Amino acid sequence: MLTLGIESSCDETSVAIVKDGREVLSNIIASQIDVHKKYGGVVPEIASRKHVEAISQVIDEAFTEANISYDDIDIICATRGPGLIGALLVGLSAGRTMAYALDKPFVGVNHMMGHICANYISNKELEPPFICLVVSGGHTYLLDVKDYTEFKLIGRTLDDAAGEAYDKISRVLGLGYPGGPEIEKAARNGKDIYDYPRVMINDGYDFSFSGLKTAVINHLHNLEQKNETYRIEDVARSFQDAVIDVLVEKTIRLTVERNLDKIVLSGGVSANGELRRRMEEAAKEHGYKVYYPEKILCTDNAAMIASAGYYDYKTGNYENNVTAKPNLGLENS
């Protein structure tokens, strides 16, 4: 079964064709990072216009790379949320139009479920149940994934997501956008010498990164006011360790509690090498296996949307007539 996926929730215009939810025939990504970098973040109106400019060409490239025709497609799907409303509408409009013209079923996909399904592409042997940590620019979730479209939300961020905190601290340190790769790079040459708070590390399974972000910014302001110097690398390392300590501790604790033996990482922050290393190190002590996608599938892409759309269709967990939902999350999917 061939699924066409379209992703346009933020600043990547992506179209992919995936076989049986796991085999990628094509995955074309037109990134806008260079466009938004000078603004220090994504400008919604510019993002929407760039999606309109790119979508037709990206669709054509996806079919060319997969070496198939429109008639070969069985399912068409697109991201319905969460994301920027204007950006979402571009992908949804393209997907629904194609589905109508080709008389194919259309599936509106939850972008966050797509991040989870990226793991089925990179890890062909992976099957539920497992504990999943979703860490991205806008969301941080801990999930008990019971089946391909069935899960229980256990913990979520109460304020800032981990990726959002990375971006903010990166800007404050003058490292640029996107912040995740820049912080990780700087942290490799730094030492954890600043005792930044591990917020809520022992309090349930919800997350909070706003206090950590504020603590780092206030610390830097105090140093500057006293004319004291600091190494950017040390701040980056101390900040990153504070984030990872919380993510690893809560994930391992939940896996023990649920008596499972598989941990899945997903979302843009799951590309972080130190997070992967620390999670594997902690999991090994319990005999757990850790899974994560290839780095190209950690960030926004249409292959993961096609995979999620395939499993939604197979289980009948979808609606044809869907609208864009910019605030859609896993708690209200």
Annotated binding-site residues for Fe cation read 111, 115, 300
- What is the Cα–Cα distance from 123 to 160, expressed in whole angstroms? 30
Going by the DSSP 8-state scheme, the letter that residue 294 receives in this structure is -
- What is the Cα–Cα distance from 196 to 315, expressed in whole angstroms? 45
Tell me which H or E stretch contains 259: none
Annotated binding-site residues for substrate read 134-138, 167, 180, 184, 272
- What is the Cα–Cα distance from 79 to 62, expressed in whole angstroms? 17
Collapsed DSSP state (helix, strand, coil) of residue 126: coil
Which structural domains are found in the chain, ordered by start? Answer: 2-118+297-315 (3.30.420.40), 128-292 (3.30.420.40)
Q: What is the pLDDT along the chain (333 residues), one digit of tens a residue?
A: 999 999 999 999 999 999 999 999 999 999 888 888 878 888 989 999 999 999 999 999 999 999 999 999 999 999 999 999 999 999 999 999 999 999 999 999 999 999 999 999 999 999 999 999 999 988 999 999 999 999 999 999 999 999 999 999 999 999 988 899 999 999 999 999 999 999 999 999 999 999 999 999 999 999 999 999 999 999 999 999 999 999 999 999 999 999 999 999 999 999 999 999 999 999 999 999 999 999 999 999 999 999 999 999 999 988 777 899 999 988 755
pTM here is 0.94
β-sheet bridge partners, residue 145: 130, 151
- What is the Cα–Cα distance from 303 to 161, expressed in whole angstroms? 24
Q: Which amino acid, one-letter code, is at 123?
A: N
Annotated binding-site residues read 111, 115, 134-138, 167, 180, 184, 272, 300
Residues 6+ apart with CB under 8 A from 263: 130, 131, 132, 133, 251, 252, 255, 279, 283, 288, 289, 290, 291
CA atoms within 13 A on the CB side of 57: 8
